[in-house]
Structure formats: structure tokens, C-alpha cells
Amino acid sequence: MYIKTILEYLKDDFNYSTGLVTTTEIAHATPATFAAHAKDRDLKVKIRDQLLSQNIDILLGGGLGGTYIGGRTGAKDLAIKHNYTLVTNTTELNGISNSTDRLLGLFGYYNIDYELERNPKESPSLQEMTTKALQVLDSKNKPFFVMIEGGRIDHAGHLLNSFENKTIYNALETINFEKSVRIAYNYAKANPNTILITTADHETGGLKVHDFSNLDKNLPNKNYSRIKNNEIRYNRSLQINASWLTRSHTNQKVRFSGFGHNFDTSTIMKNKDVFWALNEALGNFPVIRTDYPVSGAVGKLSFRVIGSESEGISYSFKRTELSTGETVMGNWVQSTRNKTIELTFESAKNTSFVVQILVRDSKTNLQTSSLRLHLSVIKLESPNSKTTSSKQISLSTSSSTNRLPLNFVNFIVILSILTLYLRKENWKK
């Protein structure tokens, strides 16, 4: 048993389309955190297989030359095996149809090269991957969740402090990250049913900027070539008076920003708060709160439908005894809001039950599934047993036949490592 990630929760329970985009190798820690369950971040083959087996609609990142991918030949074999359309360079990515069903993009050798060194023909920028991911997900005409990571900012922070280009690498990676945020922001602004989040899992390097008052006034220009603009950014970065505390992670607080669909960020103080904020943004669809007291040979399973503004809530259950396979079905029963339902099971011997609880909202024609279809195994001890009763809780993998309506919000989560300092404070305007 494992705990579902936010991506799995939305994909399995609410039929969301999903995507993972990163400038690191695709099996790196951050994408793995959203869709893999390996014991160690270095188990690249296992993480690769888990990512590809998750039915994620879009996977874009580095790693093409990695041994766990095996170059273009290995990537092609993996794409065929897992039913993905494969792209391995910028031209192929930009040319792929937005109606592509499942897209796998693998670029670079391990990670996609730093922006200062990236060959634009071989590896796309984070902006290009962000644009294509949003285009493909948008074309599916259903809600989506996508995580987009500017992961090379962290890698630049891990460079030796004596490395003369450390600040320059960080600056250019952060600028390109900010440009990707701008693309996502414009999408969210044009599609009000979208929530955009920018944050980081930590800071790296302890960067401190002492002074940047003497920057060259010559600014990048959209009419200039990429090479010339990077030269301008390079020279301006050299004029930043900055220092680094370390080449490791720090405990510096990072920014959490949310935009769109009345998203409330006031309760976000810790990493774990993000999930509940996203969950709250799904709306007032009922949540099941459960309690499993066991006494002797009697198990009482109670649950309460909470968080619904609708009175049209009904529920049913199915109980299966594992030792015999005997199944008892319950009919749909109307429930008033916030009513607690209690089911009592008796057994003369130590046994196990599987109980599936489903809740349906007739107003939206939604029915819970998977995580919200609670599959609970209750071990009941016999009346004469002196041992303490025990219980186990796991999650079902059943899927609902009723799919959610299209007014559920889209989620775009963009992650960096350094705190995002916007070049223009009024950019949202």
C-alpha cells in the first residue's frame, strides 16, 4: 500500500488529464515524487517504469542519453511498449499535433543543458515545453493537472561557489523559468477555470544579492537573436554583486504564489498544506470521513458525508468476506447533509471484510471512485480472543462510470528552487 500523490488522486478519482514537464532528466526526484513510489531516488529504471505505467498524458524532460533510457533506440522501444508518441528534439516537439493522445518527449543526454549551453535545435526550452504541454492538455477538453519544473536552477545552486558562472547559470535559468510562468499565467488568465501555482520545495545555495544598481542599460529585445539576448544577460549577470553561502540546500523560506479561480493561499504555510488547498479548490463535492472502532467480534464502520451544499446525496456499500468471497450489497440510500451512517458487522470468528463505500451527488451526477471509494480491510477478533483487535486500511483501484463535468478546475503547478523574484512587480497587470 502507498499514499497517492496529488497527480494520482486527480487522475484516478476525477478523470483528470495529467502531465509532467522538467528540465532535469525525466526520472529525477521531482517528477518521480508526483507519480512514482520507489524507495530510493537513484532507482532510475524502477522510476522510469512507474512513470510510464501511470497513463500520464504528457511526459517531457531530459534523460534521452541515460542508460535507463538507452538513447533514441531505447526511447522508441519504451514509447511503443507504453503506447506513447515519441519526440526527441525541438523540431519534433513543436511539430507534434496538439491532438496527440499520449506524448513522451526525451531530450539531451541526462538533464537538458543549461540555458547558457543548450542547443535549441536538439533540446527545447522550458517555455517551449510549457507551451506544448498546455496546448495538448487543453485540446483534451477535460480538466487537467500539470507539474512544470525549472529543475536546473537547483543544479546551478549545487555548483562550487568558486565556479565563476554559478550566478550566471542561476540567473539565466531563473529568467527562463519566469518566462514559462508568464506563459502559464496567460493561459490561466484566458481560461478562468484554472489555478496556477508557483513555488519551490527548497532553496539551494543561500544566494544573497548585495547590489545590482550598476547593471548595463542594454536590455534583451524580442527582435534580437537568442544568442545576442543571452550575451546581454550574461554581461548583466557579471555585474551583479552576489555571494553564495553554500552549495547545498538551505532552510530559507520560499515563496508560494497562487492565481486564479478564487484560490486562497492564506492557509499555505507548510508543504502538506498545498494538497488540502488544491483539494478545497475542487469544490464542495462530498468527502467521506470514516471511523473504524472494533470491539470483540463486532466491527462498526461509520462514515459522514461532509462538505456538500447539496441535499441530493445518496450512498451505497458492498461488503465482501475475504475468506469465503461472500458479498453483501447495499442499495443507494438517501442521506441528508452531514449525516453520520453506521454499519455494524458481526462475526463468530476472526475474519476480514472488504467494505466499499460509494457516495453519489445527484445534483452533479458525480460518484466517488478510487481514493474516495474507501476500501477498508477490518480484522475482527473472536469474542473469546484476548488479543487486541486490529484493522488495516488500503485503497481500492475501482473506477467510476460517471465522469466529472468540465467545470472542475485545471491545475498548473510550476516549481523552481530559488525564490522567484519577478523582474516587474506589476507583471500581473
Domain ranges of the chain: 6-282+408-416, 287-395
Q: Output 279 or 406, whichever has higher pLDDT.
A: 279
pLDDT at 388 over 90: no
Which residue, 262, 306, 286, 281, is CA-closest to 363? 286
What is the structure's pLDDT at 1? 46
- 98-149, pLDDT tens digit by residue? 999 999 999 998 999 999 899 999 999 999 999 999 999 999 988 899 999 9
Q: Output 353 or 178, whichever has higher pLDDT.
A: 178
Cell representation of residue 401: 462510470
The domain over range 6-282+408-416 is classified in CATH as 3.40.50.2020: no
What DSSP assignment string belongs to 176-202?
A: HHHHHHHHHHHHHHHSTTEEEEEEES-
CATH number of the 287-395 domain: 2.60.40.10
Handedness of CA 240, 244, 249, 253 (dihedral sign): negative
Q: For residue 209, how far is the Cα from the chain centroid? A: 31
Cell representation of residue 121: 535545435
Put simply, whether the predicted model's pTM sits higher than 0.75 gets the answer no
How does residue 89 score in pLDDT terms, banded at 50, 70 and 90?
A: very high
Matching CATH topology for 6-282+408-416 and 287-395? no
What is the structure's pLDDT at 387? 35
